[in-house]
Amino acid sequence: MRFFLLILFTGSLFLGCISVEAPLMPMGPIPNTHQLAWQEMEYYAFIHFNMNTFTNKEWGYGDEKPNQFNPTSLDTRQWARVAKDAGMKGIIITAKHHDGFCLWPSKYTEHSIKNSPWKGGKGDLIQELADACKEFGLKFGVYLSPWDRNHFAYGKPEYINYFRNQLRELLTDYGEVFEVWFDGANGGDGYYGGANEERRVDKKTYYDWPKTIEIVRNLQPEAVIFSDAGPDIRWVGNEKGYANETTWSPIYRDSVYAGMPDFQRYAAGQENGTHWVPTETDVSIRPGWYYHPEQDDQVKSVSKLVDIYYNSVGLNSSLLLNLPVDTRGLVHENEVANLKALAAFLKKTFTVNLAQGQKLKTSTTTKGYPAKSLIDKDLKSYWVSQVNDLKPTIEILFEAPLEANTFMIQEYLPMGQRIKSFTLEILRDGIWVKEYEGSTIGNKRLVRFDTQTIEGLRFTVNETKARVVLSNLGLFKAPELYED
């Protein structure tokens, strides 16, 4: 028995003087295949375009008239081209926002584009966008607001049927959907079919989420579902574009729910959480989610966008960057310019991995999982340290000194999120200098430091829940940003 416990404790089997590592097993909750596919997307667009665009509001009351929706030169192919050129992997559209107006000719309401002047009421914007996404090789996702300030039955049980019927339309008629976005904001005053009153709902029970989720699973089994609390992806906890320095993908799922008041407390996730529910960072490129002409000169600068990218994608999250389409029905020129510059910056930064071709030395290696997997460009191969290695280290001494300013490291997610803290050191003029100390890693950690000539680099894991399993390591030189 004692011997057995010893094996369990060390994870190794000692046969004479030869040590055989126990087989590598996943640790804690792990992503399923559709979460993994989503995780690899990293950067994609949100588009807020709807009735609010034409009333110049953020939240319509629900009493707007369909004839107010009247874009002059709407072109979903332009949206898709802009997203593609920006390096984004998909688009999520506000099919229906809180004001209840629908961008598709839903057969369950008159409050939709079918009663608008656009294309004489014959258009279907969701269809046009789904087609454009397909043409440009982008994934397509939908936002459907649970709160509906237009619908007469909102707050009553019958509204749930209406909401689910709309969901069925969106998930049946437009091909593959990669993400379904359920907003946490719901309940309050509104038009409600002319009642003009305040309607509050119990956010936990009113929507009977388990049944709604089942509908998504049946109609779009590959889709990930976003809400404040998941089930597949959770909110990062703010709308500024910044994930927590410590970001665990696991959470105790029952500890959070959509619209809960103290959500912030859970933004970092939980080291020993029971479910894999990674964060998504949603932020708008302008102050508002919707287009307002007075914000034309408030489009986020390229350096701000770069900062957001590093603090979302580079902090174990994904970046859902919102583009408010304007009253013409186009992504505004100011957005287009900054997105292009961001894409150029990212391409210049991440195309050449300076660690490639250099010799890696690791403190230990589990047989079959060699260090070279870290730089083979294959996310599916990985390096594994040994169980008895309490401070796993990767060291690179360069053939010749080189200039760098960006470090990247990725855990192999199918084995779970393991690393609790790490240190990054650089070798400068023959001396090891501590450059950065960080906590979690997860899907990706990006570390920026001042541009300098270095002779080597050392990455040390200080604390880990189990053997370290890393799929990818990179060292880069980002160009200088001249602007602002």
Interacting residues with ligand FUL (CB under 6 A): 58, 183-185, 282, 289
Q: Residue 133 CB: number of other CB atoms within 10 A?
A: 26
Q: Which of 64, 411 has the CB closer to ligand FUL? A: 64
Q: Which of 104, 289 has the CB closer to ligand FUL? A: 289
Rg, Å, the chain Cα set: 25
Q: Which of 71, 187 has the CB closer to ligand FUL? A: 187
Q: Which of 58, 271 has the CB closer to ligand FUL? A: 58
Q: Which of 289, 345 has the CB closer to ligand FUL? A: 289
CB distance 411 to 471 below 8 Å: yes
Q: Which of 220, 227 has the CB closer to ligand FUL? A: 227
- Name, in order, each residue with C-beta under 8 angstroms of 297's C-beta and a sequence gap of 6 or more: 334
CB distance 39 to 379 below 8 Å: no
Q: Which residue is nearest to ligand FUL (CB)?
A: 185
How do strand 393-411 and strand 359-362 relate by DSSP bridges? antiparallel
Least distance from ligand FUL to the Cβ atom of residue 282, Å: 5
Least distance from ligand FUL to the Cβ atom of residue 142, Å: 13
Least distance from ligand FUL to the Cβ atom of residue 148, Å: 13
**From residue 384, how far is each of 36, 144, 367, 424 by CA, in Å?**
20, 42, 8, 18
- Name, in order, each residue with C-beta under 8 angstroms of 18's C-beta and a sequence gap of 6 or more: none
Least distance from ligand FUL to the Cβ atom of residue 54, Å: 16
Question: In terms of residues, how long is the chain?
Answer: 484
CB distance 43 to 339 below 8 Å: no
Least distance from ligand FUL to the Cβ atom of residue 52, Å: 8
- DSSP H or E run through 161: helix 157-172
Q: Which of 283, 461 has the CB closer to ligand FUL? A: 283
Burial class of 328 by CB neighbour count within 10 A (0 to 12, 13 to 18, 19+): middle
Q: Which of 44, 248 has the CB closer to ligand FUL? A: 44
Q: Which of 47, 305 has the CB closer to ligand FUL? A: 47
Can you tell me which residue has the tokens 């989420």? 209
Least distance from ligand FUL to the Cβ atom of residue 185, Å: 4
Least distance from ligand FUL to the Cβ atom of residue 137, Å: 25
Amino acid present at 386: Q
- Name, in order, each residue with C-beta under 8 angstroms of 272's C-beta and a sequence gap of 6 or more: 28, 250
CB distance 208 to 167 below 8 Å: no
Q: Which of 54, 289 has the CB closer to ligand FUL? A: 289
Least distance from ligand FUL to the Cβ atom of residue 95, Å: 12
Least distance from ligand FUL to the Cβ atom of residue 149, Å: 11
- Here the tokens at position 482 are 């001249």
How do strand 445-464 and strand 279-284 relate by DSSP bridges? unpaired
> How far is 158 from 34, CA to CA, in rounded Å?
32
- DSSP H or E run through 76: helix 76-85
Cα 259 to chain centroid distance, Å, stands at 19
- Give the helix ranges, DSSP H, for 207-332: 209-219, 302-312
Q: Which of 96, 444 has the CB closer to ligand FUL? A: 96
> How far is 303 from 301, CA to CA, in rounded Å?
5
Least distance from ligand FUL to the Cβ atom of residue 169, Å: 20
Least distance from ligand FUL to the Cβ atom of residue 442, Å: 23
Quick one: which of 172, 225, 185 has its CA closest to 60? Answer: 185
